[in-house]
Structure 1
Amino acid sequence: MQIRDLPYSDPGTPDVRSGLRLLLWLGRKQWGGQLKALGWGVLQLASIASFPAVAGLAVTAVVHRSGSDLALAGVAMAVVTVAVTVGDTMLHRVAVTNWITAAARIQQLLARRTAALGATLTRRVAAGEVVAVSTGDIERIGWCVEAVSRFSAALLTTLGVCAALVAYQPQLGLLACAGMLALALTVLPLLPKATRRAEAQRERAGRATELAADTVAGLRVLRGIGGEDLFLTRYRQASQQVRHAAVRTARMWSFIEALQVALPGLLLVGVVWYGTRLALDGHIAVGELVMVYGAISFLLLPLQLFGEFAMSYSFSRPSAARAARVLGLRRPGEEPGAQADDEQRAAASYGAGPREGLYDPLTGLHAPAARLTAVVCGDPDAAGRLAERLGGHPASAADAPAVGAEAVGAEAVGAATAGVATAGAPDGNASAGQQADASVPPSVLLNGVPLDTLPLEEARAAVLVQDKDPVLLSGTLGELLNVPSSGRIGAAEALNAAQCTDVLGALVQGTPDAAGDPMRARITERGRSLSGGQRQRLALARSLITDPEVLVVDEPTSAVDSHTEARIARELAELRAGRTTVVFSSSPLLLDRADRVVFVPGAAVAATGTHRQLLRSDPAYRAVVTREPQHHADASREQVRARTNQRDQRAQTHQRAQTEGVESA
């Protein structure tokens, strides 16, 4: 794999059982590149190790006054020099290629996993953690993959040099081998402590990154309440904790590196002292002493490579563990056998459901095809979770604490069964055994087909969810609206429907180089230069341009005034005519435009009808929509019940009078 061939057409399926297994999987995926790097590394180090032997031949030639031997030594020195140059150049080239391709593979896998998980990702992993994994952790993982080949080459070369020393000069060779073993035994016990310090530094850095991201995202609110100093103090404290952790880690590694310099130096002094005595006693020649000295000096280079690999592994192992944790997250439909289980639960436990439109077996919510359905929830957070479910982002059992207890469990299943009966689904009463088997919520059905059984691309193209806090990417307005679409709705039509006239004027005014063209006007990161209502309307225009088969929007007009909201409600109903649209809102202006209103106060559908019908018939619905206090709602409920009882009594009296009249006749 070459850098020019990136990105991968298929990055593969990683082994995410642990960080070590992920690193081993990366090594196997780059087997060819690792072997190339190993070959060039052995050539480079073996050539460097040959310098002492060539130098020894030159010294011996000078002592013996042999010109031919000296010339031969010069030629050998030139060959070794060329070999070192070629080996070093190619090793660097191949090693960097391994580094970049490994990092790119992990980056591509993370991007795919992020796209697959969607909004559920940040509920299971902090946003700062995801950013840290996709930036610093990827570099550390690539560093370790790149260092493996050089470490392997250094290990092979070291074994070869030690074996040659033992064969050539047994006494000096055994002394050198014993010294190298003592060095390894001295440094190795320090590595676990260095790894723990590196992991602590990484955790503190992740928390600081998350705090910084949250602060920047809420900067407008912080300025409004005067909370900049408070959050600045928090970030300073987090930053100081990162600095202290980094200093502790650096101290440990500086101590390890100091040992790698001091101990080999002492070993070299001992070998030279002992070798000099052997030379003075006539046991070895001067050239042989130079050769042994050069070989011992060479062994300092592999020791540095060993230390570099130990450092890269210590830093990359916790990074790989975090990357494996993110890559190991799965949507319920992606787990082995989950698709079949979802289909069986949807068909057996909850009935087949309506065959047209969008249907949620868990709550009984049905959005008929080609209709505008408004959904009213008592809890805004529950509305957001339900909107995510309708988009094919169901919460697994592992997510239950984060998404609300009503989403899973026997009580939710029982409530969902009641909701199905309310929606008119067949087979509304599921057996107790079937309810107990539902460990995760069933998939939402699109035209009778579970969304989890569809390929991810098809599901995302069919159902688009716009949450209550949409993200606007930086760039021009034209780039923001350049999204995959059916082509039925143009940018001007969508912007007009979303009532973006004042937004376009503000963007043009804030971008002097746009030359009056709104499409060339620039949008800052996350649209922070715009108000909340302006961001909402631009996001709505972007969703309308996409023109999906099913559009789910959560509170699309919560930050706009009532006049603008009324116009958006009218234009939305007209523009989405013939398409399935689900709007989560409690605004009467939007609800009155809906073809159908569904009231979901808890875990299941409680009532269905038009807005005006539900206002008259359901006090709880009226309390949510009109913001009526709960005691007023209870009083209204009692009044409705009293009026109903009076009407029933009058009907019974009238019927009894008619019966008595007939008997008298």
Structure 2
Amino acid sequence: MQIQDLPYPDPGVPDARSGPRFLWWLGRNQLGGQLRALAWGLLHFCSVSALPFCVGVAVQAVVDRSGTRLALSGGLLVLVCAGNALGDTFLHRAAVTNWITAAARVQQLLARKTAQLGSALTRRVAAGEVVAVSTGDVEKIGWFVEAVSRFTAAAVTVVLVCVALLVYQPALGVVVALGLPALALAVLPLLPRATRRADVQREKAGRATELASDTVAGLRVLRGIGGEELFLDRYRRASQEVRQAAVHSARMWSLISAVQVLLPGLLLIAVVWYGVHLAREGRITVGELVTVYSSVMVLTYPLRHFEEIAMAYSFSRPSAKRAARVLSLERTAPRSEPRRAEDDAPAPDLPGPADRPAAAASLPSGDLYDPATGLLVPAGVLTAVVCGDPDAAGRLAERLGGHPEEPGPSVLLGGAPLDELPLGRARTVVLVQDKDPVLLSGSLRELLDVPASGDVTADAALAAARCGDVLTALAQASSAAEDPMDVRITERGRSLSGGQRQRLALARSLVTDPEVLVLDEPTSAVDSHTEARIAEGLKDLRSGRTTVVLTSSPLLLDRADRVVLVHEGAVAAVGTHRELVRAEPRYRSVVTRETDQERAAAAGTPVENGEGSLRDALGQREEIEETA
């Protein structure tokens, strides 16, 4: 794989059982690039290591006044320098290719996993950790993958030079052969402490990144309550902790580097002292002494790669561990115990004649059924779901989309488990819009350019979501007289109000036109007049399509074909809004915001109280429709 061939057609299935296994998997999948880098590295390091031999031959030729050997040494020196230049050039090329292709493979794997998990990713992994994995961690992993081949070439070169020196000059070769392994292994006792300090630094950096992302995301709210300085102080403290941890880690690595400089210097002194002693005794020539001395001096260059591979592994190991943890996440949470037949069977005694089928397999095609709560959403109707707990409503919405937070039976669509459908099919069939949808930066036209059935136009979706005033505001905000569809929306729609963002997100979901659309509080940020019009537009546009709205708004509930009350994790009542507000106190409590005192006062006359609340809600809707 070359850089110009990126991205990979298929990045493969990673071994995400642990960080080291993931690194090993990456190396095996780049075996061709590793072998090329190893070959060029051997040429480069061997050429560098051969320079002392050429210099030694030249010195001895001058001492012996031999012009032939001097010319021969000059020719060898030219060849060695050419090999050095060629090897260094293509080693760098191969190493950078390995680095970039490894990083690109990891990025593709992370992007694929993000697409598979959707919004469930940030519920299982902290946002700061996701940012760290997809940015700095990718580079560290790529660094280690490309450093392996250079380290291997350096290690092989050191072994070859030691063997050559033992053959060339055994007396000095023994000193070098014993000293070089000691140099390579001398820093091993320092590595665990250096690794721990580096881990602390990365942990603090991750927390600082998460704090920064949270602060930026909530900047508008912070300004509203005057909390900018408070969070700025928190970030300053976190930043200083990162700086101190970085200095603490750098001290250890500087000590390792100092050891790597000191010990080779001591070995050189030992070689020179012993070599001069042998030369005085006439046991070696001056050229041989120069050759051995130069070899030891040159070998400090490949020895530096021992320190680099130690640094690369210590930095990449936690990065690979984090990446493996993200890549090991599955589309649905694992079950804590084996699936049983009764898990998929609905309870027999819940209310509603059609809400609890005799068996899940008997569901007609297109019906959506959640065995965990007993919720049945018939195909082709607008079903509103009321939950007293907003968090429970959010979890139910995610479960209906095939991303449950907790282990349990899968949601069924037409009798088929949703989490067993191919991801592409599941995403086409069911679309979930959560209560805090994100608008990406770009023009409104680009925002609505999403995969869709083609049956719903952008104009129809904008009209149903009542975005007319949003278009007007965008046109007025633009300095040039241009189509509002071409006006650029800032990141996350921060230039718009909460209600405007919510309506644009709803329009985007309506354009997609999925078979099943799940909306979690789609009108919580709009006024009641606009909400009533949105309810009407939503029902008209989604006519004949399955729509689930999780809400407690009477205006939306009154427009629904069917209303389901979910209480304490199970379906408690089914009917229309008017029926439930009269007959079901728990439903009335959620929808009308009835207090405990009001319920106690109305305990003897629940119907009258319910009718009063219903009359108020219906009267409000009629007034809104008249003014609209």
Normalized against structure 1, the TM-score is what?
0.87
Q: Which amino acid aligns with 1:395?
A: E
What does residue 623 of structure 2 align with?
Answer: none
455-464 or 523-532, which deviates more = 523-532
113-122 or 470-479, which deviates more = 113-122
For the residue of structure 1 that corresponds to 2:167, the secondary structure is helix
Q: Which amino acid aligns with 2:261?
A: V
Judged with a 3 Å threshold, the aligned counterparts in structure 2 of structure 1 residues 516 and 379 are, in CA distance, closer, same or farther, namely same
Q: Which amino acid aligns with 1:459?
A: A
What does residue 543 of structure 2 align with?
Answer: 577
What does residue 583 of structure 2 align with?
Answer: 617
Judged with a 3 Å threshold, the aligned counterparts in structure 2 of structure 1 residues 227 and 342 are, in CA distance, closer, same or farther, namely farther
Judged with a 3 Å threshold, the aligned counterparts in structure 2 of structure 1 residues 104 and 264 are, in CA distance, closer, same or farther, namely same
Confirm whether residue 378 of structure 1 aligns to residue 376 of structure 2.
Answer: no
What does residue 367 of structure 2 align with?
Answer: 357
For the residue of structure 2 that corresponds to 1:512, the secondary structure is coil
Confirm whether residue 201 of structure 1 aligns to residue 201 of structure 2.
Answer: yes
What does residue 252 of structure 2 align with?
Answer: 252
Confirm whether residue 286 of structure 1 aligns to residue 253 of structure 2.
Answer: no
Confirm whether residue 493 of structure 1 aligns to residue 463 of structure 2.
Answer: no
CA offsets, 1:544-590, max 9 Å, x none?
A: 11000000011111001111111111111001111100011111111
Judged with a 3 Å threshold, the aligned counterparts in structure 2 of structure 1 residues 641 and 317 are, in CA distance, closer, same or farther, namely same
Q: CA deviation at 1:351?
A: 2.8
CA distance in 2, matches of 1:638, 1:308: 80
Answer whether contact 2:565 2:573 (CA < 8 A) is retained: yes
Aligned 1:565-604 pairs, distance under 5 A: 565-604=531-570
CA distance in 2, matches of 1:455, 1:571: 32
CA distance in 1, matches of 2:453, 2:340: 30
CA distance in 2, matches of 1:638, 1:327: 58
Q: CA deviation at 1:337?
A: 12
73-82 or 40-49, which deviates more = 73-82
CA offsets, 1:42-76, max 9 Å, x none?
A: 11000111111111122222222222222222221
218-227 or 622-631, which deviates more = 622-631
What does residue 229 of structure 2 align with?
Answer: 229
What does residue 435 of structure 1 align with?
Answer: none
What does residue 408 of structure 1 align with?
Answer: none
What does residue 155 of structure 2 align with?
Answer: 155
What does residue 442 of structure 2 align with?
Answer: 475
Q: CA deviation at 1:516?
A: 1.8
Q: Which amino acid aligns with 1:118?
A: G
Answer whether contact 1:619 1:636 (CA < 8 A) is retained: no
What does residue 141 of structure 1 align with?
Answer: 141
1:564 alignment partner, one of 530, 534, 537: 530
CA distance in 2, matches of 1:543, 1:149: 49
CA offsets, 1:184-238, max 9 Å, x none?
A: 3421100011111111111111100100000000011000111111100111111
CA distance in 2, matches of 1:638, 1:10: 68
CA distance in 2, matches of 1:335, 1:376: 27
CA distance in 2, matches of 1:452, 1:598: 24
What does residue 519 of structure 2 align with?
Answer: 553
Task: Flag structure 1 segments of 5+ consecutive residues without an equivalent.
Answer: 397-439, 644-665
Answer whether contact 1:333 1:452 (CA < 8 A) is retained: no
Answer whether contact 2:40 2:87 (CA < 8 A) is retained: yes
Aligned 1:374-453 pairs, distance under 5 A: 374-396=384-406, 440-453=407-420
Judged with a 3 Å threshold, the aligned counterparts in structure 2 of structure 1 residues 493 and 275 are, in CA distance, closer, same or farther, namely same
CA distance in 2, matches of 1:54, 1:348: 85
Confirm whether residue 512 of structure 1 aligns to residue 479 of structure 2.
Answer: yes
Q: Which amino acid aligns with 2:277?
A: R
53-62 or 188-197, which deviates more = 53-62
CA offsets, 1:478-526, max 9 Å, x none?
A: 211110001111111111211112222332333435x421222111111
CA distance in 2, matches of 1:276, 1:122: 67
1:524 alignment partner, one of 471, 478, 490: 490
What does residue 622 of structure 2 align with?
Answer: none
Q: CA deviation at 1:157?
A: 0.2
Answer whether contact 1:346 1:450 (CA < 8 A) is retained: no
For the residue of structure 2 that corresponds to 1:552, the secondary structure is strand
CA distance in 2, matches of 1:354, 1:532: 39
Aligned 1:17-96 pairs, distance under 5 A: 17-96=17-96
CA distance in 1, matches of 2:342, 2:180: 64
Q: Which amino acid aligns with 1:482?
A: D
Judged with a 3 Å threshold, the aligned counterparts in structure 2 of structure 1 residues 597 and 473 are, in CA distance, closer, same or farther, namely same
CA distance in 2, matches of 1:614, 1:336: 36
CA RMSD of aligned residues (A): 2.0
Q: CA deviation at 1:346?
A: 2.2
Judged with a 3 Å threshold, the aligned counterparts in structure 2 of structure 1 residues 151 and 535 are, in CA distance, closer, same or farther, namely same
Task: Flag structure 2 segments of 5+ consecutive residues without an equivalent.
Answer: 348-357, 610-628
1:534 alignment partner, one of 500, 509, 519: 500
Answer whether contact 2:582 2:607 (CA < 8 A) is retained: no
Judged with a 3 Å threshold, the aligned counterparts in structure 2 of structure 1 residues 641 and 591 are, in CA distance, closer, same or farther, namely closer
Q: Which amino acid aligns with 2:193?
A: K
CA distance in 1, matches of 2:336, 2:94: 38
Q: CA deviation at 1:640?
A: 3.9
1:367 alignment partner, one of 364, 374, 377: 377
CA distance in 2, matches of 1:264, 1:229: 52
CA distance in 2, matches of 1:66, 1:27: 50
CA distance in 1, matches of 2:449, 2:401: 21
52-61 or 152-161, which deviates more = 52-61
Q: CA deviation at 1:120?
A: 1.9
CA distance in 1, matches of 2:241, 2:411: 45
What does residue 419 of structure 1 align with?
Answer: none
For the residue of structure 2 that corresponds to 1:90, the secondary structure is helix
CA distance in 2, matches of 1:529, 1:641: 46
Q: Which amino acid aligns with 1:346?
A: D
Normalized against structure 2, the TM-score is what?
0.92
Answer whether contact 1:342 1:450 (CA < 8 A) is retained: no
Answer whether contact 1:22 1:320 (CA < 8 A) is retained: yes
CA distance in 1, matches of 2:102, 2:144: 10
What does residue 346 of structure 1 align with?
Answer: 344
Q: What number of residue pairs does the alignment pair up?
A: 597
What does residue 597 of structure 2 align with?
Answer: 631
Judged with a 3 Å threshold, the aligned counterparts in structure 2 of structure 1 residues 641 and 539 are, in CA distance, closer, same or farther, namely closer
For the residue of structure 2 that corresponds to 1:9, the secondary structure is coil
CA distance in 1, matches of 2:170, 2:474: 81
Judged with a 3 Å threshold, the aligned counterparts in structure 2 of structure 1 residues 224 and 176 are, in CA distance, closer, same or farther, namely same
Answer whether contact 1:148 1:309 (CA < 8 A) is retained: yes
CA offsets, 1:355-390, max 9 Å, x none?
A: 242111111111111101111110111101100000
Aligned 1:168-183 pairs, distance under 5 A: 168-183=168-183
CA distance in 2, matches of 1:22, 1:155: 24
Q: Select the structure that is richer in helix.
A: 1
Answer whether contact 1:33 1:98 (CA < 8 A) is retained: yes
CA offsets, 1:401-423, max 9 Å, x none?
A: xxxxxxxxxxxxxxxxxxxxxxx
CA offsets, 1:85-134, max 9 Å, x none?
A: 11111111111111111111111111111222222222221011111011
For the residue of structure 2 that corresponds to 1:331, the secondary structure is coil
